[in-house]
Amino acid sequence: MSWEKVGKTLVTLISCIGSIVAIYAVLKDDNKLEAYLSYDYQSYPRQFSERVNKASDKLGYGYLYDGIKEVASDALSHEQIDKIVSLSQAPYLHIFDGPFKKGPDVYPAGLYIYLTNTGEKVVKDVHIKLPAKGLVRIRDDSGNETVMEEPTGRVIIPSLVQNGAYRVWVYFDGDLEALKKEGVRIGYNDGVAKIEVFEEFAGLEAAVAKYSAELITLLIFLAMLLILAVVVLFMIVSDGSSQADTAAS
């Protein structure tokens, strides 16, 4: 077996791998818009929800009407009591109007999106396709906030300057796991965003997630050793065959 041949083969193998990596780096989609996503499940304390339900019962028309009539000792007319009841109910009805009719726990699933422009130019026409309709709050890189009163399934950001960042909070009334399966799609005028989703892991999964870069490096190293072993074994077998043929001659 010629170790010179092994060395040349190894150098050729490393050169091929380097060439493949270089070609991939040139041809891959160079994303300038990056997005970091995280999901969570949130809910109000049970004590608060129970208080809201009790308050709802005490703000009923019949309860308020009878209470005001009793306090007034029949000194108020029906129209006057009716008007007082309406005024008493108005603040509560405003709080739980629109998308909050079912109470404070109606939007338990949350999604946080951090958008940043790492390119050298302004990113225009950023559009976010959400997994479902939800309540949206947006904060730009100047700290200005935009709050959408009604649920929406699509978010539009006209432009994002270089090194600029937007933060988007979305609250859903659906199941968290189902929302994760649907996914989020983010694009802009020149392509799509590079998306990373942050999730919590425990045990072995947590260790693999934490040391993923080291694990990939180890796997690549082991793969190269395996290829080298195969090449060396092939050359040994080839040399053995050549020596057998020479001896036979």
Instruction: Name the residue with tokens 């929800």.
Output: 49
pLDDT tens column, 206-223: 566 566 777 788 888 788
Q: Is pLDDT above 60 for 21?
A: no
Given this model, what pLDDT does residue 221 score? 78
Q: Which residue has the higher pLDDT, 158 or 249?
A: 158
DSSP of 6-25: HHHHHHHHHHHHHHHHHHHH
Between the CA of residue 233 and those of 15, 73, 120, 230, 247, what are the distances in Å? 21, 105, 50, 5, 21
Q: Mean pLDDT across the chain, nearest whole number?
A: 80
* Cross-strand bridge partners of residue 171: 110, 135
pLDDT, mean of residues 71-93: 90
How buried is 96 (Cβ within 10 angstroms: 0-12 exposed, 13-18 middle, 19+ buried)?
middle
pLDDT, mean of residues 188-215: 72
**Rounded Cα–Cα distance for residues 225 and 231 (Å):** 10
Q: Which residue has the higher pLDDT, 105 or 241?
A: 105
